[in-house]
A and B are shown apart, each in its own frame.
Chain A
Amino acid sequence: MTAVTAAPPKTAVSALSVENVSHAYGERIALDEVSFHVAPSSFTVLLGLNGAGKSTLFSVITHLYASRSGVVRIFGCDVARKSGAALALLGVVFQQRTLDPDLSVAQNLAYHGALHGIGPRETRVRQAAQLARVGLADRAGDKVRYLSGGQMRRVEIARALLHWPRMLLLDEPTAGLDIKARAGLLEVVRGLIADEGIGVLWATHLVDEIRDDDHVVVLHKGRVLADDSSRSIVLAADASSIGEAFTRLTGPGREEADW
């Protein structure tokens, strides 16, 4: 298995740069020399199966804990050394639902605003714009409990954008959503890149969420197997689709040799 690695263009500062990040839980290696970049105003897909190391990587990027080695930078700010400045530029949608179901949408957003040092009045102004963006302008007063799964995700995106981040991380945001809600969510996030120039890292194991011109980072068993545009990865793997390319990169190579 050879890694298909393209040197990222170093012209501008990356929205997110992950450099030689390794991490282990005791003996078990979760991340092995992981490196990749996310350019501003780009949609990058972190493609990997469950257990590939995506969640560990997200924990390291959000500074929940520090990696054993390597550096993560957000617009040049080292997450471990200048975590405050780095986290201020980062918006995150976690895999778990993190809204408080007993509180209203507006109260949830106010709490997040406060965590980012934004006062209640300013939050109210921003929340109207962000909720309108995700199509939930009229639901601010509703309890989160009464929203659908897709709507909760949209609220979480609105919340993640409240402090005007320049880089947005989403960890399996479409998990548990139906086809329509998934498409709607993707549309909202792709719209952000066009409108705001935000860099997006979208972790998933669903290949049908990937477009040909998306940047794709294939993570498997803690290692980066490919880091290029979806189109180039398909070409390099001599496959007909990104799904097939992914299977070739990650699947047991011997079976394919037999054919």
Chain B
Amino acid sequence: MSEAAFARERPFGWPQRLICLYGIVWRESLRFLHQRERFISALVRPLVWLFIFAAGFRQTLGVSIMPPYDTYVLYEVYITPGLMAMIQLFNGMQSSLSMVYDREMGSMRMLLVSPAPRWFLLTSKLIAGVAVSILQVYAFLVVAYFWEIEPPTWWGYLTVLPALALSGLMLGALGMLLSSLIKQLENFAGVMNFVIFPMFFASSALYPLWRVQQGSPWLATVCRINPFTYSVELIRFAFYGQVNWLALAVVAGCTAAFLGAAIIAYDPARGMLMRRGG
């Protein structure tokens, strides 16, 4: 048959890979649009924090002038970047939940029988999750705008985009790594408790590090080694059109480390799948 020869002669090159990436992102977005509850809960969660938590603490927690802010800012302005990162944290963990689910349901196998290299498939899946998380963040920013939370210039909406992409990649890669370690779906609730909540609370999302330092030097140290803190700071500075180089370096390094570990964990010859029997 000519098709067989065709398939053998045409290896899976970059044009095919791009089609593959496009297809994975397209399917993920389509699924997201179909799951309206997921979109609404992704939007409501940070808004609850913003409208209720931040409004309540407005009087007690003032934030003095510190970079990137050059004036005294309201507490809700301070926590907005933290909430953007929180959206991405939940989304990253949720995509990893969907990978555990996919693996049990077999559609993970569907993905992995593609002729594209496995690292490429996993990275594509990751990019698809990041695209969805960025959509969620912008939806949140639209609502926040009407609450009078906005960057100093309109450019902030643009300059925050690369920061969101990178921090989304880091949190998504972490989720993917965790998904390879979770044996069954039920264990995921534990991840919520032991990963999402500690990462969010022990970070600079809700309070500046200098304030944490005053309260508990020990907690401040934990915050300083928590990669999520750097996601938040990267986004915070980017929203104000600035680059926090330390945060950039930490987030980029962690992204590479988490993604590399996830690819090894999903490797056919070495990975966890083999030991467990898929």
Task: State in angstroms the CA–CA spacing of A102 and B26 once bound together.
Answer: 14
Identify 27 residue pairs between A and B in the complex whose beta-carbon atoms are under 8 Å apart, listed by A's number.
A25-B275, A56-B277, A59-B277, A64-B278, A65-B269, A75-B4, A83-B115, A87-B115, A89-B7, A90-B113, A94-B109, A96-B109, A97-B105, A103-B30, A107-B27, A111-B27, A113-B23, A114-B26, A115-B23, A116-B16, A116-B20, A117-B15, A117-B115, A117-B116, A119-B19, A163-B7, A166-B3
Tell me the chain B residues, 208-245 only, with Cβ under 8 Å from chain A: none
Candidates A62, A95, A112, A196; contact of B1 at CB < 8 Å:
A196
Alpha-carbon gap, A164 to B5, bound state (A): 11
Query: Closest CB-CB distance, B276 to chain A, in whole Å?
Result: 7
Nearest Cβ distance between residue A117 and chain B, in whole angstroms? Answer: 3
Which of A30, A55, A115, A166 meets B114, CB within 8 Å? A115
Which residue among B7, B110, B111, B116 has the maximum number of chain A CB atoms within 10 Å of its CB?
B110
Which residue of B7, B17, B105, B277 contacts A98 across the interface (Cβ within 8 Å)?
A: B105
- Interface flag for A216 (CB, 8 Å): no
- CB-nearest residue of chain B relative to A97? B106
Given contacts A117-B12, A117-B116, contact A111 B26 (CB under 8 A): yes
Interface range, A side: 35 or more
Name which of B15, B114, B115, B116 has the most chain A CB atoms within 10 A of its CB: B115
Instruction: State the 8 A-B residue pairs at the shortest beta-carbon distance, nearest first.
Output: A114-B23, A117-B16, A96-B106, A65-B274, A115-B114, A164-B3, A66-B269, A84-B115
Question: Knowing A62-B109, A90-B113 touch, does A30 contact B27 (C-beta < 8 A)?
Answer: no
A118 touches B113 (CB 8 A): no
Q: A94-B106, A114-B23, A114-B27 are in contact. List 7 more A-B contacts (CB 8 A).
A: A64-B112, A96-B105, A98-B105, A103-B30, A114-B19, A117-B115, A164-B3
Question: What is the bound-complex CA distance between A31 and B114, given in angstroms?
Answer: 25
Q: A100 with B27: in contact, given A62-B113, A92-B113, A116-B114 (CB under 8 Å)? A: yes
B20 touches A107 (CB 8 A): no
CB distance from B246 to the nearest CB of A (A): 39
Chain A residues within 8 Å of B23, by CB: 110-111, 113-115
Instruction: Establish whether residues A25 and B12, one from each chain, have CB atoms under 8 Å apart when the complex forms.
Output: no
Q: How far is the CA of A237 from the CA of B274 in the complex (A)?
A: 36
In the complex formed, the residue of B with least CB distance to A64 is B278
Distance in angstroms between the alpha carbons of A166 and B12 in the assembled complex = 17
Q: A66-B274, A84-B115 are in contact. Are A100 and B19 (CB under 8 A)?
A: no
Contacts of B268 in A (CB 8 A): 63-66, 80, 83
Residues of B within 8 A of A117 (CB): 12, 15-17, 19-20, 115-116
The B1-34 residues at the A interface (CB cut-off 8 A) are: 1, 3-4, 6-8, 11-12, 15-17, 19-20, 22-24, 26-27, 30-31, 34
Complex formed: what's the CA distance from A208 to B7 in Å? 35
A-B contact count (CB 8 A): 134
CA separation between A110 and B113, bound complex, in Å? Answer: 15
B113 touches A30 (CB 8 A): no
| A107→B6 CA distance, assembly (Å) | 25
Give A59 to B109 CA distance when docked, in angstroms: 9
Chain B 136-153, CB-CB to A under 8 Å as 1, else 0, gives: 000000000000000000
**Pick the contact of B115 from A65, A85, A98, A164 — CB < 8 Å?**
A85
User: Nearest chain-B residue to A59 (Cβ)?
Assistant: B278
* Residues of B contacting A59 in the complex (Cβ-Cβ under 8 angstroms): 277-278
CB-defined interface of B98-135 with A at 8 Å, one 1/0 digit per residue? 00000001110111111111000000000000000000
List residues of chain A with CB within 8 A of the CB of B156.
Answer: none
Residues of A within 8 A of B15 (CB): 117
Distance between Cα atoms of A80 and B113 in the complex (Å): 12
Task: Give chain B residues whose Cβ lies under 8 Å from the Cβ of A116.
Answer: 16, 20, 114-115
* Interface check A8, CB cutoff 8 A: no
Residues of B within 8 A of A113 (CB): 23
Whether A197 sits at the interface, judged by CB under 8 Å, is: yes
Are the CB atoms of A102 and B34 closer together than 8 Å?
A: yes
Bound together, the chains give a CA A52 to CA B16 distance in angstroms of 37
Q: Closest CB of chain B to A95's CB: distance in Å? A: 7
Q: Tell me whether A4 is interfacial, beta carbon within 8 Å.
A: no
B273 in contact (CB, < 8 A): yes
B267 shortest CB reach to chain A, Å = 9
* A59 vs B117: C-alpha distance when bound (angstroms): 17
Task: Tell yes or no: A26 within 8 A of B by CB.
Answer: yes
A42 to B35, CA, bound (A): 43
Chain A residues with CB under 8 Å of B16's CB are 116-117
A95 to B110, CA, bound (A): 11
**Complex: how many Å from CA A64 to CA B271?**
10
B23's nearest neighbour on chain A, judged by CB, is A114
